[in-house]
Structure 1
Amino acid sequence: MTYSVSDAFYGDISLGWGEQTSIADDTAPIEGVLFNADIVWMPTPMTLVEFIASSSIETANTVDSLGAVSRSYRLSLQHAFWRYLVVGGYLSYETADYVDNELVDERLREGLTFEYFFNPNMSVYTRYEHTDFMSTDRFSEYTENEVRVGMRIRN
């Protein structure tokens, strides 16, 4: 479903069912509800709030499991302080619960972004992102901090 309540509130939402089976009879199918959304709210012309949800069926190389239904949710906020300076922040959560296996992976991310536009075709940016990866397999868990600095040139 695509909707537009106003110029400041619009988006896409889809809901369905997914299933993937294996040619091996001893492996359970991956199945579950699939929900995807991209909802945008602009409380002011210079502020953007966006919610993104996505889900998909992912195959895996785990023992006795065909894979998982993977789900991801992200909430972000961007504000243009001037035409040329945009600052943002986001929070996201991802999960994968594997079929016929005790393995559950989760990822939590928080980030900050800054972008300075010289003109519509050229900008410099920086991003900081903190990631916590949690799993029922404790040897797979990690924490990561990432800083990126770069330049974008658009055609």
Structure 2
Amino acid sequence: MSRIDAMKMSVALGAVLAAGMAFAAAESAATAKEAEAMVKKGVAYIKANGKEKGYAEITNRDNKEFHDRDLYLAVHRIDGTAVAHGTNEKMVGRNFIDMKDMDGKEYIKERVELMKTKTSFWTDYKFNNPVSRKIEPKTAYCERLDDTVVCGGIYKK
């Protein structure tokens, strides 16, 4: 094999590997169906085990029932206070009603307004992806549970 043929093969192999890695990264992101299923599982868990245990398990990053790749749950009361958060326990107990994403969207306020009239809904905003560590477009599936809203979101690619 000539040196030029070897270089062409190396470039082609690199392209194939890069495409494979991009496909694997895309495959590893959670889907809308998985977000809906996790939210439903979270709601059922809270109903079956009570709020205190339910919120603790949603916040517990070692609990794989509520943490899967870039998918996790967050629960907010109707006043915007976080009662559970799957990636940052320091958010629990803080009020985020006026929190805005990088485009100025008050997405927590939107959630609590929507939960007043709907039992389930989707909402779009931008948020830090815990896997890529970048601000990315996100859509969250949410369900109302008593005076809270339970949400799980996926990052749009």
**TM tier relative to shorter chain:** under 0.3
Q: What's the TM-score once normalised by structure 2's chain length? A: 0.25
Higher fraction of helix: 2
Considering Cα pairs closer than 8 Å and 6+ residues apart, tell me whether 1 or 2 has the greater RCO: 2
